[in-house]
Structure 1
């Protein structure tokens, strides 16, 4: 018998799943589920933000684009949160480029509807504010991490954060993508991932990295992964999955 594929639900996003039934019911008529494709650009720097997204199993990066075309990651979003709201409280303009790094589904709502919901439902506003603080802590910790920790430790952190957001051991990641996210040369990433594979932490395939030994990967990661994870657990205990 063929396996029936389960359709995505709004509650596949942990923030939406954490809402009380009446608060989710307020949003639900305005939420639409859509598929996000790897490489899809949702907003460009300075572009008008029109929707708020709640990823299910997709992962989206916010990157800053330099004049020479180089890019560096500023934040990452997955099923633990939302994007297209914090950067649009006042100007409705995007901080940078929002690009889909891992394909998957998401729930989407018109930005004006989301703002109305926050004004009308205090519980929705409270949850968004707590998520915003967690996101700010993640962003600031990442800035410090990029300045002081080794590429190998940062790569381990990034792989763990990716796995947290998609919930799978297999991560469709290329060396080119990892190099861009970590702000290093592709050859550096190739050397680091080869070392991690030799240690038995990951397995590399064509355009795919599989986490083999998560506990060992956590030990190899810098302290920033644990700090960020703990902050999310403190601020959003009802949304952040514990091991």
Structure 2
């Protein structure tokens, strides 16, 4: 493990008692995830669970028509691969790096071994699954009832909560794909936020200049989802 990275940058791993953390630590492998990196595809058997530290993963659904949308984002608050301990080895969604960074991966047999002990890891992962389900439900309602600008503000705020910087390396096209809207809609919404002095956008980079102002433009979904992580 690199001195620049620690599994305890992930909140689930950091919350484990020392004995349980030590049991996992030797089996955790640090991986670097580039923007757009695919961890798994729909109906593919999962081999690892991933605990992001600086990367943000998008749990993404793609329809037969090619249209797609994000069901949830996973950053340092959680893990990718809940199907491994919820009774299945596959998932209908894909997992894509929406923000590049790092994660620790754990082989599925070791995850199940520790989960089935019934200790703190099991309790933490089940509680996390409840929070993830809340995020998915709230995201579905948000995508149906709130404006693109509100959705963009929600997404940006959620991303900021998971990274140490006020600047995000992400394209408008990728955000549009994750929100399931046209790129033109994101361009228009980002333009309004930039003219309002809330963000600064240049190709592939979004810097948040006024976090308080950005949060005031987000819908209530941001606060509902954030409460679940607390």
TM-score bracket, normalised by the shorter chain, equals over 0.9
Unaligned stretches of 5+ residues in structure 2: none
The match for 1:149 is 146
Do structure 1's residue 221 and structure 2's residue 215 form an aligned pair?
no
2:28 counterpart residue number: 31
SS in 2 for 1:166: coil
Give unmatched runs, 5+ long, in structure 1: 234-243
**Taking structure 1 as the reference length, what is the TM-score of the superposition?**
0.91
Match in the other structure for 1:61:
58
Q: CA deviation at 1:44?
A: 0.8
Deviation at 1:95, TM superposition (A): 2.2
Structure 2 residue matching 1:30: 3-state secondary structure? coil
For residues 29 and 47 of structure 2, the distance between their equivalents in structure 1, rounded to whole angstroms, comes to: 14
Moved more, 28-37 or 52-61: 28-37
Whole-angstrom distance in 1 between the partners of 2:78 and 2:93 = 18
- In the alignment, structure 1 residue 175 sits paired with structure 2 residue 172: yes
Given that residues 85 and 111 in structure 1 are in contact (C-alpha distance below 8 angstroms), is that contact kept between their aligned partners in structure 2? Answer: no
SS of aligned partner of 1:108: strand
Residue of 205, 209, 213 corresponding to 1:212: 209
3-state DSSP of counterpart to 1:35:
strand
When normalised by structure 2's length, the TM-score is 0.96
**Number of equivalent positions:** 229
Secondary structure in 2 matching 1:165: coil
Q: In structure 2, what is the equivalent of residue 10 of structure 1?
A: 7
In the alignment, the residues of structure 1 paired with residue 153 and residue 196 of structure 2 have an alpha-carbon distance, to the nearest angstrom, of 13
2:110 is equivalent to residue 113 of structure 1: yes
- Partner of residue 72, structure 1: 69
Does the CA-based 8 Å contact 1:33-1:107 persist in structure 2?
Answer: yes
Deviations 1:199-224 (A, max 9, x none): 11100012100011001101000011
